[in-house]
């Protein structure tokens, strides 16, 4: 499947407030042929520029606004070497991913990790006090939900 983009920005002046009709003419070899797919998408942002969206999955809803960049797929969660819970002694936390070309990013301040936010995981993290670790796999045009583990130390709580 190959998507083809058409920039129709020059024709945006013909769109009016309310409903508009955008027609497509598709031709196929025969009525029973299975090799035909047409999946049009039109986006029109509030600045008056029309754009065609790429195929993919949208994670964040954007009612009344232009859609964000679509993701082409999803990644599973990061694996934590230690289960969440209560601890008395410090330990080294390892984060792993079965996606070899996906980067792991993590935070310890409660923010969701993503490409531009969080720290790049390069090796075990020393956990020696109460800490909340959020980690996600990051790969261009792929989405990963953040996994969260909380590690509580009795000394901090008391």
pLDDT by residue, tens only, the chain of 158 residues: 566 777 777 777 877 777 777 776 666 676 666 666 666 666 555 555 545 455 677 767 777 777 777 788 888 889 999 999 999 999 999 999 888 788 999 999 988 887 677 899 999 999 999 999 999 998 888 878 899 999 999 988 87
Task: Answer yes or no: are the C-beta atoms of 70 and 58 closer than 8 Å.
Answer: yes
Contact (Cβ atoms closer than 8 angstroms) between residue 151 and residue 108: no
- Residue 147 has what pLDDT? 93
**Phi, psi torsion values for 13, nearest 5 degrees:** -65, -15
Neighbours of 121 (CB within 10 A): 21
How confident is the model at residue 143, as a pLDDT?
Answer: 77
- Residue spans of the domains in the chain: they are 1-70, 74-157
Q: Under CATH, which architecture does the 74-157 domain have? A: Sandwich (2.60)
Q: What is the DSSP letter of 154?
A: H
Look at residue 31 in the predicted model and tell me its pLDDT: 66
Burial of 99 (0-12, 13-18, 19+ CB in 10 A): middle
pTM over 0.95: no
Return the pLDDT at 65.
75
Output the pLDDT for position 33: 67
Strands 103-107 and 131-138: antiparallel
pLDDT at 43: 58
CB atoms within 10 A of CB 71: 17
What pLDDT, on the 0 to 100 scale, is given for residue 96? 93
Q: What is the pLDDT at residue 38?
A: 66
């Amino acid at each position: 499947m190959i998507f083809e983009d058409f920039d129709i920005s020059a024709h945006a002046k013909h769109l009016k407030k309310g409903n508009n009709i955008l027609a497509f003419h598709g031709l196929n070899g025969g009525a029973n042929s299975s090799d035909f797919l047409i999946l049009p998408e039109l986006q029109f942002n509030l600045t008056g520029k029309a754009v065609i969206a790429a195929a993919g999955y949208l994670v964040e809803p954007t009612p009344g606004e232009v859609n964000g960049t679509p993701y082409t797929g999803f990644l599973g969660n990061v694996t934590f070497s230690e289960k969440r819970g209560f601890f008395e002694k410090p330990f080294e936390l390892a984060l792993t991913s079965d996606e070899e070309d996906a980067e792991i990013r993590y935070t310890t301040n409660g923010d969701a990790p993503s490409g531009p936010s969080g720290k790049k995981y390069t090796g075990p993290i020393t956990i020696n006090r109460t800490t909340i670790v959020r980690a996600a796999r990051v790969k261009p045009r792929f989405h990963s939900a953040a996994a969260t583990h909380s590690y509580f130390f009795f000394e901090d709580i008391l």
